[in-house]
């Protein structure tokens, strides 16, 4: 529903027609505007209210406690782990997706045979839900050692790459980086699609001009193409970044409920629905909202301004 409004705007070539049908358009999108007002902004407001309340237990308690829930989070050791985990996850996830996505896109752009096949192949993991990915990778990354090796560790053992055998997501402190791997696997195809579109938009004449000037292939990519792909990279970082901040289903499917691999979204869920700390849960929700907004709002503002110009 939320996607409808920007869509109508982006079809800029038909502005004239839209002016004529302007009022009808408003009527048609009115239900979805109302629904968004209520179900998105209304509930954001309600969550904000709960986050400054003392609500603990089954029934609502709207006693105002100021920023107490937020200051408690600031000194909550579990929330510190959440932030550390989110930071590691985000870095591994975004860098992994960008590197693999760009690599695949360049290879495809070089004119591989059956390009459509490979494109679909790499994009395919995106069609799978994070839950399925999590369950499968939970098996693949089985951390058991010794004679109980299985999954990827067993594969490493079989092909003689024993030094690669590791404890994956059971590794102390860095386990969350292993959890980011399935996310990279799932989303790098999408990043590839973004980059591929970007590469296709680079005019052939620019490449040829660079080659005529004596640039090597490496220089061509570094000096000419990469700078042109900067907006694509920015979009990819924004999209991947907000996925990473909100990650929940993958963690639940892969790690279950354990503090070592906890992230803010899982803490929010368990503390609210297992522990009935609604005030604290709402506070975590607000922190998540603000951190995503810090990432997304400047981008939206920037693109909207560019559109208008």
Structure-token match 């004239």, residue found: 16
Shorter beta-carbon distance to another protein: residue 59 or 309 = 59
Which ranges of 110-225 would DSSP assign to H, the alpha helix?
115-123, 130-140, 152-158, 175-200, 204-212, 217-219
Shorter beta-carbon distance to another protein: residue 146 or 160 = 146
Mark residues 253-282: x for contact with another protein by CB under 8 A, - for none. Answer: --xxxxxxxx-------xx-xxxxx-----
Q: Taking Cα atoms as reference points, which of 233, 258, 251 lies closest to residue 101?
A: 233
In degrees rounded to 5, what are phi and psi of residue 53?
-110, 170
Number of Cβ atoms within 10 Å of the Cβ of 99: 13
Number of residues that bind another protein (CB under 8 A): 45
Give the orientation angle of helix 175-200 with respect to helix 77-109, to 10 degrees: 40
Q: Is 71 in the site for another protein (CB under 8 A)?
A: no
Q: Is 170 in the site for another protein (CB under 8 A)?
A: yes
Q: Is 146 in the site for another protein (CB under 8 A)?
A: yes
Q: Using DSSP, how many helices (H) and how many strands (E) does the chain show?
A: 17, 0
In the list 93, 122, 137, 169, the residue contacting another protein (rule: CB under 8 A) is: 169
Q: How far apart are CA 255 and CA 272, in angstroms?
A: 19
How wide is the angle at C-alpha 9 spanned by C-alphas 8 and 15, nearest 5°? 95
Q: Which stretch binds another protein (CB under 8 A): 9-17, 55-63, 191-199, 282-290?
A: 55-63
Q: Is 46 in the site for another protein (CB under 8 A)?
A: no
Q: Is 114 in the site for another protein (CB under 8 A)?
A: yes
Q: Taking Cα atoms as reference points, which of 104, 288, 259, 271 lies closest to residue 190?
A: 104
Q: Is 81 in the site for another protein (CB under 8 A)?
A: yes
Q: Is 77 in the site for another protein (CB under 8 A)?
A: yes
Shorter beta-carbon distance to another protein: residue 2 or 173 = 173
Q: Is 190 in the site for another protein (CB under 8 A)?
A: no
Sites of contact with another protein (CB under 8 A): 56-60, 77-78, 81, 114-117, 119-120, 123-124, 127, 129, 138, 142-148, 167, 169-170, 172, 255-262, 270-271, 273-277
């Amino acid at each position: 529903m939320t996607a409808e409004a920007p869509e109508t705007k982006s079809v800029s070539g038909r502005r004239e027609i839209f002016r004529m049908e302007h009022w009808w358009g408003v009527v048609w999108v009115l239900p979805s505007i109302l629904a968004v007002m209520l179900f998105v902004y209304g509930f954001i407001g309600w969550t904000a209210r709960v986050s400054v309340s003392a609500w603990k237990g089954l029934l609502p308690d709207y006693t105002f406690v100021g920023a107490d829930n937020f200051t408690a989070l600031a000194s909550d050791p579990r929330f510190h782990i959440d932030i550390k985990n989110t930071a590691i996850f985000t870095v591994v996830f975004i860098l992994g997706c960008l590197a693999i996505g760009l690599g695949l896109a360049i290879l495809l752009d070089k004119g591989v045979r059956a390009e459509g096949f490979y494109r679909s192949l790499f994009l395919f993991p995106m069609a799978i839900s994070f839950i399925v990915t999590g369950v499968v990778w939970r098996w693949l990354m089985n951390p058991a050692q010794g004679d109980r090796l299985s999954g990827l560790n067993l594969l490493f053992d079989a092909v003689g790459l024993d030094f690669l055998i590791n404890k994956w997501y059971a590794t102390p402190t860095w386990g969350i980086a292993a959890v980011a791997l399935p996310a990279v696997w799932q989303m790098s195809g999408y990043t590839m699609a973004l980059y591929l579109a970007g590469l296709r938009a680079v005019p052939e004449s620019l490449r040829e001009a660079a080659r005529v000037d004596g640039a090597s292939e490496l220089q061509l990519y570094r000096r000419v193409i990469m700078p042109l792909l900067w907006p694509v990279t920015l979009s990819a970082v924004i999209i991947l970044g907000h996925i990473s901040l909100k990650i929940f289903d993958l963690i639940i499917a892969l790690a279950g409920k354990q503090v070592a691999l906890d992230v803010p979204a899982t803490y929010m869920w368990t503390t609210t629905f297992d522990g009935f700390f609604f005030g604290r849960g709402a506070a975590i929700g607000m922190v998540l909202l603000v951190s995503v907004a810090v990432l997304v709002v400047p981008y939206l503002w920037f693109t909207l301004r560019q559109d208008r110009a």
